[in-house]
Structure formats: structure tokens, C-alpha cells
Structure 1
Amino acid sequence: MSALPPTEAVYSRISVPLITAIIVALCWLLYWQTDELRGRQRWIEHSYEVKLEVEELDRSFRELEGVQRAIWLTGKTGNGLQDRASQLHVKLEEHELKLRQLVADNAAQGLLVEELSRLLDIRMSIMSRNADELAGLDEQDRTDRIMSGVLAANAVEGQLEKIRVSEQRLLDERAKGVADGNKRVLTLAFGGSLLAVFVMLLTVYRDRKNRQVRDRYLARLAEARDTALDAVQATSTFVATVSHEIRTPMNGVLGAADLLRQDTRLDRRQRELVETIHYSGEALLDLVNDILDLSKLQAGKMDFATEEFSLSHVLEESMALFADAAGRKQLELAHRIAPEVPHKLKGDPMRLRQVLLNLVGNAVKFTERGSVVVDVSCRGGDDNRLVLRFRVSDTGPGIPAEEQGRLFVPFGQVNAAINRRHSGTGLGLAISMEIVQRLGGTIGVESKPGTGATFWFTARFEDAGVMEKGAERLCGGGTLLLLEGRDLTAGTIEQHVLGWGMKVRIVADLKSLETLPEIPDLAVVLIGRVTDASWRELMARISTRRDARDIPRFLLSAPHEAPEEHEIAANGVQACLRFPFRPSDLYNLLADERPEPAAHKQQEGALPHARILLVEDNQINQRVFSRQLEMLGMDMIVRDDGQKGVDARIAGDIDLILMDCQLPTMDGFEATRRIRSWEAKTGALRVPIIAVTAHVMSGDAEACFQAGMDDYLPKPFDLVKLRRKLGQWLQRANETASEGPAWVKPAPPRTLDSQQLGECLTGNEELDHDLIGAALEETGRRHDEMTKAFHEANDRLWKAAAHQGVGTAATMGFAELAEHFRKAEMEKDGNQRELLLERLGALIEKTRQSLIVLGLLEGENPALLDR
């Protein structure tokens, strides 16, 4: 998130490139002017070279003229004068050639030099002719020749002067250009300096202003964060309160209904009314659970486990729950797993089952005829993580495209008339979408009105790497004769039976059965539904076949169509399978591994007689609990307050305590702590304490364990769940009693919330240390502010500092510290505030040491100091 408002961000995006462009343009102008100045300077140097050559040529010419005059005046060529004249002549030609090269780029100068060359040629030719005729000339002739030479020399000197004047004019112009260029460079440099100073001042000003804006923005952001945290906390508190207030009376409703269902004296109409109460109560409980699940998911508080599981078992268990509902509608209910999908996976089977239950439940609910099929295929993956695609297809009414967008919105429903007929909250798909996203996948729907619907989702799982066993070849690999006219059911059964190493022959009607030849290796007959005969007629025809003598015969029928046991036996049926088809039922029959009846399992292991202390303030729940415990053969003591519960534990012989958490005068947490303290001081036997509470939000169970309770039984619950919990703990208590009194230290309170703390860390050790250190310093400052507020009796400052301490500690996962800051914020009593201040100081140091032990904070490790 940007730390600047939009207008400031736009200014930054425009001003920075603009200033950069100006600076670049200024630098380019400076470079251009400097380069031009260097060019002008080179031309000045060139002019000086031209002037130098002119002077050298003039000096050589004058010296040559002097030598010539000396020769003419003396009339002699000796004394080396003629050699010197020859040398000067050569030198003169060299300077003339160089001067010609220097002015080659200037046409005007070139013309002047050309004229100079002509005059020099004339003078040189005269000198040469005079030298040849010198011996024959008298003195007067020589004088005349000297004077004519002077005139020619003057012409040369005049031409040289013209060249000097022309070059000087060029030099003056070039010098003026250099001076102007210097002025421009100085002007640009000065302007650039001013611009640099201006940019620097502007940058400092904007930076200061941006810091002020950023500080204000961050302050508003922190305020918005605190407001959001308060809103989340308020929402969580509201949801928890509503859940608690609904679950408490629901425990009485469902508990009473469950007890009445056990009463054999009820007539049919009374039993139907009880079933209606029980069904309605469970529907209301499902609504509460859906709201809680959605709240947990959106708050990121729902836990996801990673464990090994069998995909086929999860699918079968999920679909088995809807077998009766599908059977009543004669719906074909089947699942198919592609061969490439591993049998064993690692992931969260409970959350996968929750999604499947939502999707399959909706498909069965809205489909009146046809089928519901679940297909699972593999869509690749990486790093040993597979992407599985699940498709739940039905033959229901379908969903219009314009209404599909509301499917995954909480409380959003399509076709209100149908939903009123089938009931529902509209939360199931929203919860499924949240879970699927947490499983690393996506969810969607494909449907058209009148063609059914296909809900699909993907999820990521790890391959457990368990090798599949080879086919077991049930029944010796013989043939199963399947009499089934429903294509989907027949195909599903065939797929599974072939996987068990057997062969399958499918017959869709009685006529085909009558023409079917004998099957030499026929091992079993499975009778389903065909189009032109009843199962009795099919059994009669099978009985006449020679290959079916002494062959096991199984019947596949819906629960409401299942024949009586005596009729099954009379027609030669060995076992009856329920429709829709469940693969494990058939497998157990073929492998002769029939599962033990559920009724028998529920009767195993009678509960030992025990004296139970129930601490519960709700009178309805007291009566329900009393009746339930009476049916389980327990003696019971009831107390309606935490303090009375503590007194009852101290005064009497108690085997187990059922403790509600929300009680008047003293809550269940404090009562548990006092009981555990008394047991520790006196050496009394540690009695199991089970929390029976309507608090089911994230952290509620942990709070119970931190208080010293041993287990957690959320309301509402039925007799089976209560019996299971009592059996588990009464057995442990008996084993402990036989070994003598013992004190088991309760689990220490959780100092750090590792999940929340992990979400705040970046993975960079240095940054994480700084972040955690800053958070601890922040909690220390809040503690100092609270200390000051306590001494000044400033209630507003106390609450503000405590509230900010809650925000910092909770955000960083300092769980115990956040809880005590929260208690301090709500506390009004002065004595309690003083105690809380002392406790907060100790907790800050305890949190610091815990972080050092974990390596998340630098410092001396207390664990190492003990060595």
C-alpha cells in the first residue's frame, strides 16, 4: 500500500521525470556549447599558425633580399653569399607551400596566397636572371637592377601585409566568438547551479512534506487497522456469543429428544414428533456450525492438518451418508477414480470430506431422478504435490447462467421456491470455496437449465508414496454375474470388481438372462434392478441354471424396498446390499470379511460405575444431563456455580467432573484452576475435568486446557458422545487409582501463537529480529504508559495504552501477553490493575526469553545458561 495519497503520488510520478529531463537537457546544452567553444579555439590556434608562417616567410624573403643586394653591390658571389641565397630560396619555398596548405580551407585567403606565390615567382625569376647576367653588367646597370628588385620586393611585402590583415580580421572574429561562447557556458553553468540549488531545495521541501503526509497517512492507517481489529474482535465476540446462546438451549432440545428416542414406550405418532424435534434441532445446529465455519475461514482461524489418508475411503464414507436419501429417490449414486490417481495421499481428509459432503448433499437434495456421480482425475502437479480435479455431476434441474454468480456468495441462493422446499442456508458453497482455496485449488460450476449441473473443484495433495498391492483376485478370479439394467450402477460395479481380479458379465433384462450361455467359472451372482422382471423372478430363473448351483447370490436394493429377512432366506439370497452401491459392502461379502454390526460395536465395554460432579447453571441442561447420566448408570452431584463446584470437589469423593465454562459468580476456568491448586497442595488424586461448553470458537478449547481441564466436549452432544468421553476418562482414572495418587502437571499456558507469529515473519533473519525487537519495545512502552496512567489515576490513558498493547501483541502472536493486555483494558479495579501491571512486566520478559530460545531474537539463551 502506498504511503502517499493519490495526488502526492501523481506529483511524484510527474515531478521526478520532469526535473530529470531538465537536468539532462541542461547537461546536453553545456556539452554542446563546450564542444563549440573547443572548435572556435582550434580556429584561433589555426589563425596563429597562419600568421606565424606569414612572418617566417616574410623574414626569409627579407633575408634573401639582403643577400641578393649584397651580391649586387659587391659584384661578387664569393664568401658563401650565393650558397646562403640558395638555402634561403629553398626555405622560402617550404614556407610558401606550408602557408598554401594552411589556407586551403579558406577561399579568400587562398586567393591572396595564390597572388603572393605569383609575385614571389616573378621576384625569383628576376633574381635568377640577374645572377646569370651579373658578370656582364656595369655599376649603373646593377643599380638599376637593384631598384627594379626593390619594386618587386615591395609588391611581395604588400601582398604579405594583405594576408596579415585578412588573417587578423579572422582572428578577431574568432576571438569574439570564443568570448561569446565563454559567456554562454558561464551563463549555462550559473543557471545550472541555480537550478541545482532550486532542485535541491525543492527536493528537501517535498521530502519534508511527503514525510509529514506519510506520517499522517500511517497514523490514519494504524487507526484504521485498530478499528478493523476492533471490528473483527467485535464480530468474533458476537458470533461466539450467539453460538453459545444457541448451543446452550440446543443441548437441552437435542439431549431431551435423544433420550425420548431411546424410550420404547412411545407409539408411532409420538416417535415421529420426537424425530421431527431431533431433525429440526440438527438443522438449526448445522446452520450455527456453518456460520462458525465461515467465520473461522474468513478470519484465517480454521486449522488444516496434513496426514496420510485413503482417497477411496474418504469418497465412500462421504457418499454413504447420502445413500438412504438417494435410495428413497432411486438415484444412482456412484464415484469413479481415474487409474492415475494414487490410492494414498497426504493432506487434510476432514476438509476434503467437508467439501464433498456439501457438493454431494446439494446434488442429492436437488435431484429428483437420475444420478449423482463423483469423478476424480489427476491434473499433474510438481514437487510431489498432485493437483486432483473432483467433478460432482447430477441430473437435476440445472442452474441458469445469470444466477450462477450468486452460488458461492454467503446466504446466496438460486431459485427461492426450490430452496424453500428443500431448506438450506446458502452457506455450504461459500464455505466450500474458502476451504478449496486453502487447499490450493479453485471451484466452479458448469450447468444449463434442464441438463443438470456439474460442480468441480481442484485441490493439491502430496503423494504418500505407498505402493499399491497387486490385485487380490477375489473368489479365485472367477466371474461375477451382474443382473443390472441401470448403466451407471452396472459400470461402477464392473469397474470395482475388475479391480479385485474378477471378471464380470452384465445382463440388463430377463430376456438376455434366458439366452445367456453357461459361465464355467461363475463365482457369484449379484441381482439389482432390470427393466422387465422383479428380483424374485430373476432369482427363480437363476435357480434353474446349472452353472449357478451352490453359487452365492446377493441382492442389491434400496433400504425402503429391502425384503424381509425370512423372504430373503426363502428365495435363496445369502446377503442383501443396499442401493446406492457401496463398494466396501460387496468387497466384504466377496472376501468373507463382513464388518461387525454397528449395534454390536456400541454395546462393547460397559462403563464403570462412577460418581460424577456436574457444574452447570442452566436448569434445562441439568435435567438433560441428569437423565443421560442416569441412563449410563452414574451417580451425580449437581452444582450451579463455580465456587460451589470447588467446594463439592473438596468435600466429597468425586470420580469425574463435567464443568461448564460460563457460570455465575465464578466461571469454570477459575473453578478448575482452584481445584487443580487444591489437588497439588494436598496431594489428592487428580480428577479428570471435562469442559462441557457451548464455546466452540478458535482458542476456546485451548483456553480450557490452559485452565487445567483434561478434555473438551462442545454442546450440544448426544448420549453416544457423552458415553465415549466418560468411558475414555473413567478408564484412565481407574488405571491411575490402581497405581496410587498422582499429580499431573497441567499444560503450561501458550506464550506464543506460532501460526500468527509465522505470518508476520519475512524469512530474513535480520529483518525478523528487528521486527520482533521493535514489537517488544512497543509493548514495553505501553506498559510504561499504563504504569504512568495508574499512578496518575488516568483511566483514559490506561485504556488507550492497554488497547494499543493488545493490537501489537495480538498482531505479533504474543498470545499470553495479548490476553493480559486485554484483561487490563477491561479491568476497572485499582488493586487488580496493580497486579496486572506486575504480571505484564513479567510476561514481557517471559516472551522475550521464549523468543530468544526459539532463535527469533538476539540475546543470551536461558536454556544454555542452565547448562
Structure 2
Amino acid sequence: MSAKAIPVDDMPAPQSADRRIAVAAHEIRTPLGGILALADLLLAEDLSEGARGHANALKAAAEHLFGLSTSLLGGAVPTAPKALDVDLFLARVSPPLAARAAVKGLAFRAVRAPGAPDRVLADEAALRQIVDNLADNALRATESGSVELAIERVSGDAETVTLRIALRDTGPGVGPRPELLFAPFAQGDGAQGAAGLGLAVVADLARGMGGEAQAFDRPSGGAEVAVTLRLGALDVRAANGPIRVLVAEDNAINQRVVGTLLEHFGHGFDVVENGAAAVAAVGGGDYDLVLMDAVMPTLDGLAATRAIRAMEGPVGAIRIVGLTARAFDEDIAAFLEAGADAVVTKPISVAELWRAIDVGERQATG
């Protein structure tokens, strides 16, 4: 993977390169939209747990590529940093990378090193772009052995934390001039088919987050390509313990999905199968948060939300997060107008649900 630069005279003019990238990004978006639609259709089927996991990983990878193509067209806007669970982030980014490694017969693992924080404030889409480009570089260069993704803590204080995201491989190494890996239109040996832009994007993103990109040969062989990033720190003591969640959902598969996630988050929960039962349960005053499905028998989620908001005292102000497969703007707006504090669309995104739970947890323990 020793770096080599394309001679200046052979490099396309910037406008020509930008034009080619924009055209390619535009053409990529159409089939990706089809893949996303097919993934949604798959997730609507009665799948085994393993198949559902594969379909979710497929959709997550396609969503990321769709966002990246939008970014290349100039239409994406960086998102504000939000609370990000590092373990959940690794759980989301790892399956597609592990699958690519398996195709080449490589071992793959992702680790949060001892001392690395549980949570940070970060732009998750930017972090995903960094990881995917670093991993793409490592997987292209490595023909045998292994690839490892590691997130490590470098330093930190009460307000910020410096993290290091590293990809370690057993490929040929970076060569005598590793800095060229981060130059646009430079490629490492064995990077056939690559445009030489991925690591340049990584370097730009790292600089935008107060860090830098690094590359060097490992003493044991292979390469390590990494970034340091200065991110917002989150004091995990702000959330001192589990909260009690009421899940109003009539679909057995969705009950299982939400319940599994809540167990992973460390929260207790009860399940009811219709809006009337949800209203009655909230009246008991034992819950900190309600996850309310939109379409249920007896009383739908919007009507149940309005009924809860009409209650007197603290129970009427309980945090309610709507769950809906109807992702049109007017459907989400109707849920919010009914009194929901937030709405998470189906298929449920772990990141979106985590943010909803995280806010509820901080309200309950603050």
C-alpha cells in the first residue's frame, strides 16, 4: 500500500474532476433509491431474526451511500453534533465491513479500547464517512490476514474528548511517503478501481473536527491509518440509572425489536397492545417515557396521545415518542400536533431511538 502520486501533468483539471464526480454521484443515487425501497419491502416481511439483521445492515449501508452521493452533489449539510453511543455506533458500522472482509477471507473485528468513552457528542454521518473510507482503504490493500477497527481515547476534559479512530491491516504497508495517501487523486499500490479521493475526504473531515489524519507502517507488518478527532464530551453520570418505559405497540415483531433495544440500553419496560391500555397504564404514574405506535386497535396512537395530554398533573406531561411507518411530513406533523415530543419512523433506526431514549433518560434523572 505504498503511496504513489499521479504526476501533476496527468491530473484532470479541477472542474473536470468535479464534473465527473457529480455525474457519478447523480447516477449512483437512482439505483440506491431502489435498493432502499427493496430493503423496506424486505423488512415488512415476517423474517427470521438473522435475516432481519441482514436486511437492516443492507439498508444502513445503502442509506450511508445515498447520503454520501448527496454530499458529493453539494446537497448535504453537516448535522449538529448529537449524543452518540460509541458501542452502538460500532455495532451499526461493523456488519457491512465484516461482510466485505469475509468475502476476501479476512478476519475482522471492531473494538472500543479500554478508557474510550461510552458516549460523545458528534456528527454521526461524518464519523461513518470516516470509518467507511478508512476501512475501504484497508480492505482494498489487504489480501490475507486481518483488519481491525479501533476507537481509542487520546485525551479529554470536562468539555471535550480527543478520540482516535484507527484501521489496522496486515497488508503491504504505507511506504516511504505516507502523507501522499491523503492527497486527492493519489492511490496506494493495489488500489485498482479507486479514484484516490477517500482518504483525502477523511483528512478534510478530521481537520474540520479539530484533528488530523495519520498513516504509518506497523512494526509487526501492515499499515495503520487513523484520524484524531476532538469531540464534545458527555458525562455519563448525567444519566444515573434506568428509566421505566411504556411500549404501546400491537405488532409482535416490533414489540420484540423495541424490547431488545431497550434491554440493550439498560431500561425496564412494559408492553401494551392498544392505545386505551396505554392511557390507563400512564394514569398509574409509574413511567418516565412512552413509545407510542401510531396505528393500534381500540384507540390509535394519536388519540391516545391526546388523551394523555388531557390528564392533570405530571402524568399529562410525560414524554411521548411516536412510532410510525408513515414517514410523510404530514403524518409526522399530525403526531406532533397530537402532543408527541418526537417521532421515530419505522423501520426503527437504532440511532434515532437512542436519541429519543437519551433525552427521556436525562429528563427523568435530571
Q: TM-score, normalised by structure 2?
A: 0.50
For the pair shown, the structure with the greater C-alpha radius of gyration is 1
Greater relative contact order, per chain length (Cα 8 Å cut-off, separation 6+):
2
Query: Quick check: which one's helix share is greater?
Result: 1
Q: TM-score, normalised by structure 1?
A: 0.23
